[in-house]
C-alpha cells in the first residue's frame, strides 16, 4: 500500500499543479462574457480578477502541500536521487526524467513556499490585468520547480530557459513607470529592463546549449546521473565548464555580468523581485553544484581561482556600489550580488563546509532577500516611490514594520541567530581551508553589508518624521504581517537550528565531493 502511494508521480504533480491552475484561469477568461470588442468589462472583469487571485492562491498553497508530501516521502539519509520518474520522450537518450536529492529538495520547497507569498504580495498591488498576471506567475512556478527536479539535461534546459518568457512579461507588463534612453531609442524603462534581462540570460544559456549538444554527441545521452559519472576528457571539460559557466554566471549573477539584475529588480513588480531574488538567482548556484562540480571536476579545480577572484570582486565591489544607491530596490539588488559572491566562493572551495554553506546561504538568501523586497513593496504600495530619500522616521508611524524590517536587515548583515549568519560563516570556513586570503577578503563583505544595510535602515526608519506625505502612512496590515512573519519564522528557525537543513544537504554533498576528489586524484595521476 505505502509503496504504491510513493510510486505516484509526485514530482510531476508538484511541477504541473500550478500549470493546471494557470489553465483554469485561462479557461475562465476564455468563457467569460465579452462585449463587442472582445473585452471583459465591469462586474464580469471584477469577478474574473477576484477568481484569478483566489485560484492562484489556492493552487499555489495546494502545490506547497503536495511538495510537503514529496518531502515526507523523501529519505534525507540517502544521498542519491529519489522519487525518480522516467518516461521516454523525444528518443535517442533524451527522456523526461525527474528526481530529487538532498541538494534540490529544499529548493523545491523554497519555491513552493515563496510562490503563495508572492501571490499574497500581489493581491492589491497588481491592479491591471490580474488574470494574466496570475497565469504568468503560476507558469513561472511550474518552470522553477521543474528546474530543480529535472534529471535530464535537455529537460533542465527547457525549464531553465522557458522561465524567461513569463519573467519577461512580468517585468515588461507590470513593471514600474519611467523612461530610459538607450542607443538613441527612448523606451519605458521596464521594457529596457525586460529586454536586457531576456537577452543577457539568453546569450549565456545558448552557449550552454552548444555544450549540451556536444555532451550529447559524446556521451549519447542527456541523462544527468549518467553524465555525472561519464568522465569527460580534461581538455573537453575546460570548454564545457566555460560554456556552463557563461550560463550560470549570468543567472547567478556574478560580477561583471550582473548589470541586468539591478535593472530587472527595480522595474519588476514586488512579487517579481521576490521571485527573482529568492528563486531565479538560485538556479545559477544550483547549476554550479549540479553540473559544473560533478561533471567537470578537473576544470572546476582549474578555474576555481577565477571564481574566487570574481566572487571577491563581487563581494567587495558590489557592496561598495550598494552603499551609494539612492533606490531601495537597487541597494538590495546589489546586496544580492554580493551575497551570491559568497555562494560561488563556497561552491568552488569544494569542501564540505563550503558547498553546504553555499547551499545554505542560497536557501537563507531566498527567505531574507525575498522578505526585504517584500518590505520595500510594503512602503512602495503606500507611497509609490522607492527613493530612500523620500522616507525617514517611519518608525514613529510603523513600529511593527520597523521591527520586521530590522530583523531582515540584520539577517542580511548575517547576524548570528539569523539564517544569514550560518551560510556566510560556513562558506568562509570552507574558503579558509583552501586559502585564508580569500576568506580574509570575503570577510570585508560582511562588514560592508552591515554598512549598507544599516544605512538603509537608518535613513528609512529613524530620524524625525518630517515629510508631509508620511504622516498618515498606515502600518503593515494582516496580509503583509502574515507573509513577513512566515518568512521570519523560517529565517529564525534556520538561524538557530541549521542542523536539519544541513543534514538534508550533507549525504548528497558527501557523494558529490567524494566523486569530485576521486576524479581529481585520478586526473592528477
Size of site (CB under 8 A) for other proteins: 39
Instruction: Select from 214, 230, 403, 444 the one that contacts other proteins (CB under 8 A).
Output: 214
Q: 319 and 445 in contact (C-beta within 8 Å)?
A: yes
Instruction: Select from 53, 102, 118, 190 the one that contacts other proteins (CB under 8 A).
Output: 190
**Coil/strand/helix, residue 95:** strand
Regarding 188 and contact with other proteins (CB under 8 A), the answer is: yes
Q: Distance (Å, rounded) from C-alpha 280 to C-alpha 311?
A: 19
184 or 474: CB nearest other proteins: 184
Regarding 172 and contact with other proteins (CB under 8 A), the answer is: yes
Residue 292: DSSP 8-state: I
Instruction: Select from 105, 108, 191, 304 the one that contacts other proteins (CB under 8 A).
Output: 191
42 or 91: CB nearest other proteins: 91
Bridge partners (DSSP) listed for residue 186? 181
Q: Residue 126 corresponds to which cell in the numbers above?
A: 497588481
Q: 372 and 488 in contact (C-beta within 8 Å)?
A: no
40 or 481: CB nearest other proteins: 40
Q: Distance (Å, rounded) from C-alpha 197 to C-alpha 172?
A: 10
210 or 522: CB nearest other proteins: 210
**Coil/strand/helix, residue 396:** helix
Binders of other proteins among residues 138 to 157 (CB under 8 A) are 154, 157
Regarding 91 and contact with other proteins (CB under 8 A), the answer is: yes
Residue 388: DSSP 8-state: G
Length of the chain: 525
Q: Distance (Å, rounded) from C-alpha 205 to C-alpha 384?
A: 35
Q: What is the x/- site pattern for other proteins, positions 39-58, by CB under 8 A? A: x-------------------
Helix (H) or strand (E) holding 107, with range, is helix 102-121
- Which burial class, exposed, middle or buried, applies to 492 when counting CB atoms under 10 A from its CB (0-12, 13-18, 19+)? middle
Instruction: Select from 168, 308, 441, 452 the one that contacts other proteins (CB under 8 A).
Output: 168
Instruction: Select from 38, 42, 184, 474 the one that contacts other proteins (CB under 8 A).
Output: 38
Those residues whose C-beta lies under 8 Å from the C-beta of residue 130, and which sit 6 or more positions away, are 48, 49, 52, 53
- Binding window for other proteins (CB under 8 A); candidates: 64-72, 86-94, 314-322, 426-434: 86-94
- Binding window for other proteins (CB under 8 A); candidates: 58-66, 158-166, 316-324, 419-427: 158-166
- Binding window for other proteins (CB under 8 A); candidates: 55-63, 109-117, 162-170, 492-500: 162-170
Q: 420 and 364 in contact (C-beta within 8 Å)?
A: yes
222 or 351: CB nearest other proteins: 222
Where on the chain is the footprint of other proteins (CB under 8 A)?
Answer: 29, 37-39, 88-92, 129, 132, 154, 157-158, 161-162, 164-165, 168-169, 172-173, 188, 190-191, 194-195, 198-199, 202-203, 206-207, 209-210, 213-214, 216-217
Amino acid at each position: 500500500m505505502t509503496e504504491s502511494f510513493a510510486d505516484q508521480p509526485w514530482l510531476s504533480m508538484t511541477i504541473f499543479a500550478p500549470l493546471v491552475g494557470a489553465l483554469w484561469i485561462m479557461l475562465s477568461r476564455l468563457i467569460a462574457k465579452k462585449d463587442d470588442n472582445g473585452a471583459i468589462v465591469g462586474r464580469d472583469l471584477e469577478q474574473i480578477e477576484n477568481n484569478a487571485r483566489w485560484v492562484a492562491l489556492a493552487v499555489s498553497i495546494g502545490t506547497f502541500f503536495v511538495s510537503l508530501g514529496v518531502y515526507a516521502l523523501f529519505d534525507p539519509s540517502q544521498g542519491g536521487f529519489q522519487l525518480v520518474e522516467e518516461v521516454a520522450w523525444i528518443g535517442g537518450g533524451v527522456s523526461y526524467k525527474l528526481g530529487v536529492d538532498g541538494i534540490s529538495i529544499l529548493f523545491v520547497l523554497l519555491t513552493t513556499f515563496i510562490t503563495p507569498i508572492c501571490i499574497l504580495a500581489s493581491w492589491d498591488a497588481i491592479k491591471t490585468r490580474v488574470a494574466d498576471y496570475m497565469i504568468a506567475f503560476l507558469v513561472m512556478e511550474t518552470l522553477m520547480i521543474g528546474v530543480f527536479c529535472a534529471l535530464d539535461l535537455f529537460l533542465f534546459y527547457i525549464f531553465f530557459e522557458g522561465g524567461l518568457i513569463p519573467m519577461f512579461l512580468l517585468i515588461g507588463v507590470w513593471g514600474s513607470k519611467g523612461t530610459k534612453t538607450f542607443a538613441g531609442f527612448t523606451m519605458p524603462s521596464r521594457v529596457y529592463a525586460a529586454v536586457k534581462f531576456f537577452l543577457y540570460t539568453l546569450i549565456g544559456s545558448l552557449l550552454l546549449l552548444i555544450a549540451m549538444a556536444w555532451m550529447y554527441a559524446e556521451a549519447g545521452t542527456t541523462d544527468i546521473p549518467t553524465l555525472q559519472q561519464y568522465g569527460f576528457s580534461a581538455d573537453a571539460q575546460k570548454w564545457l565548464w566555460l560554456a556552463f559557466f557563461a550560463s550560470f554566471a549570468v543567472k547567478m549573477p556574478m560580477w561583471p555580468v550582473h548589470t541586468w539584475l539591478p535593472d530587472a529588480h527595480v522595474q519588476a513588480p514586488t512579487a517579481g523581485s521576490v521571485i527573482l531574488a529568492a528563486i531565479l538567482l538560485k538556479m545559477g548556484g544550483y547549476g554550479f553544484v549540479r553540473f559544473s562540480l560533478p561533471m567537470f571536476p578537473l576544470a572546476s579545480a582549474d578555474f576555481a581561482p577565477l571564481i574566487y577572484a570574481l566572487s571577491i570582486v563581487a563581494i567587495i565591489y558590489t557592496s561598495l556600489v550598494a552603499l551609494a544607491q539612492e533606490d531601495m530596490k537597487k541597494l538590495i539588488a546589489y546586496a544580492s550580488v554580493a551575497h551570491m559572491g559568497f555562494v560561488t566562493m563556497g561552491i568552488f572551495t569544494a569542501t564540505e563546509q563550503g558547498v553546504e554553506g553555499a547551499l545554505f546561504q542560497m536557501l537563507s538568501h531566498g527567505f531574507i532577500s525575498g522578505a526585504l523586497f517584500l518590505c520595500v513593496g510594503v512602503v512602495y504600495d503606500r507611497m509609490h516611490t522607492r527613493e530612500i530619500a523620500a522616507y525617514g522616521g517611519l518608525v514613529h508611524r510603523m513600529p511593527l514594520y520597523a521591527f520586521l524590517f530590522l530583523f531582515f536587515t540584520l539577517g542580511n548583515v548575517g547576524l548570528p541567530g539569523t539564517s544569514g549568519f550560518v551560510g556566510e560563516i560556513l562558506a568562509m570556513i570552507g574558503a579558509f581551508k583552501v586559502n585564508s586570503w580569500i576568506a580574509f577578503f570575503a570577510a570585508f563583505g560582511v562588514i560592508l553589508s552591515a554598512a549598507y544595510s544599516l544605512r538603509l535602515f537608518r535613513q528609512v526608519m529613524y530620524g524625525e518624521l518630517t515629510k508631509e506625505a508620511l504622516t498618515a502612512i498606515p502600518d503593515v496590515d494582516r496580509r503583509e504581517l502574515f507573509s513577513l512573519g512566515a518568512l521570519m519564522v523560517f529565517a529564525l528557525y534556520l538561524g538557530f537550528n541549521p542542523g536539519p537543513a544541513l543534514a538534508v544537504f550533507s549525504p548528497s554533498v558527501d557523494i558529490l565531493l567524494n566523486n569530485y576528489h576521486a576524479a581529481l586524484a585520478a586526473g592528477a595521476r
